[in-house]
Amino acid sequence: MTDVAFFREHGWLVLSGAFDIDRLAAFDAAVEQVAGWAFGNSPGLHHFEQTGAGAVLARSEDFIPHHEVLRDEICDGLISDVIADLFDEPAVLFKEKINYKHPGGGGFAPHQDATAYRFVDHHISCMVPLDPATPESGCLHVAPGFREGQLPTDDRGRIDDAHAATLDWEPVPLAPGDLLFFDSYTPHYSDTNHTKRARRAAYLTYNASSLGDFRERYYADKRAEFESAGNDFDGQRVRISISDDFLGRPVSGGDA
Ligand SMILES: O=C(O)CCC(=O)C(=O)O
């Protein structure tokens, strides 16, 4: 049974060992197929970052129309059932992404996802770790405060430094098979991956279905925004998200 009361109090909830070994293996294999799409003329929206070992894949998005296993698991499985409990009504997928966080891959500055999520005011996401997520590999750190709504932001959409310094952050270490649910107003950040293996995780974001289905519109908008900015914005930093919270380094010309 979903601990809805815990989620409503804290803005996040961990389900330990929610995916059994077979389910996890199927999800992991599917994620590796999507990662492979980044290097050919294949579907999905893929972003790269620079690390000490060269250019690596940072993120893939917009893949469920092209992958049946992931579509079934994400749109009609355990995760969407738990999200429906948390919304107290059926949920519809708003967006899906995989952050690969290869060794040396960048962290994310303190932010609330709500800043970047258009069309609907409230979302809930599920993090599906495929590798151990620890403070060393760049797990999420969360803080209370989601019930205050939008916190003060700087001009990049990150939580203002002075405000972030007042928050009571705690790390959320996870093992593959665990699931982390968090509210789109839950403050969170993560660090660089300082280990020698990737810290892959899928993030699946839903809204209450009574508010409408905006997934296609979200991706049409994101693609248009990135294309109009030449896909590299000012070339000084990596933009993989509509809000500018990613701390990875940009790939130097032609490396990816
Ligand atoms: O994968 C991470 O380390 C953090 C992800 C995150 O906060 C985001 O993608 O908005």
CA of 131 to the centre of ligand 1 (A): 14
Q: Is the CB of 188 under 6 A from ligand 1?
A: yes
CA of 185 to the centre of ligand 1 (A): 14
CA of 100 to the centre of ligand 1 (A): 10
pLDDT at 41: 86
Containing H/E element for 205?
A: strand 201-208
Contacts of 100 (CB under 8 A, 6+ apart): 35, 56, 57, 58, 59, 60, 198, 200
CB 251 within 8 A of CB 50: yes
pLDDT at 239: 65
Nearest residue (by CA) to ligand 1, atom 2, is 190
Nearest residue (by CA) to ligand 1, atom 5, is 108
CATH number, span 4-228? 2.60.120.620
Q: Is the CB of 201 under 6 A from ligand 1?
A: yes
pLDDT at 94: 98
pLDDT at 240: 65
- Among 216, 214, 255, 215, which residue's Cα sits nearest to residue 232? 255
pLDDT at 256: 45
Query: What residue ranges of the chain have pLDDT lower than 70?
Result: 230-243, 252-256
pLDDT at 149: 93
pLDDT in tens, 127-168: 999 999 999 999 999 999 999 999 999 998 999 999 999 999
pLDDT at 1: 83
pLDDT at 207: 98
Model's pTM, two decimal places? 0.94
pLDDT at 18: 98
Nearest residue (by CA) to ligand 1, atom 10, is 113
Tokens standing for 26? 């199927």
User: Cα separation of 69 and 96, whole Å?
Assistant: 14
pLDDT at 255: 44
pLDDT in tens, 175-200: 999 999 999 999 999 999 999 999 99
| Domain residue extents for the chain | 4-228
pLDDT at 171: 98
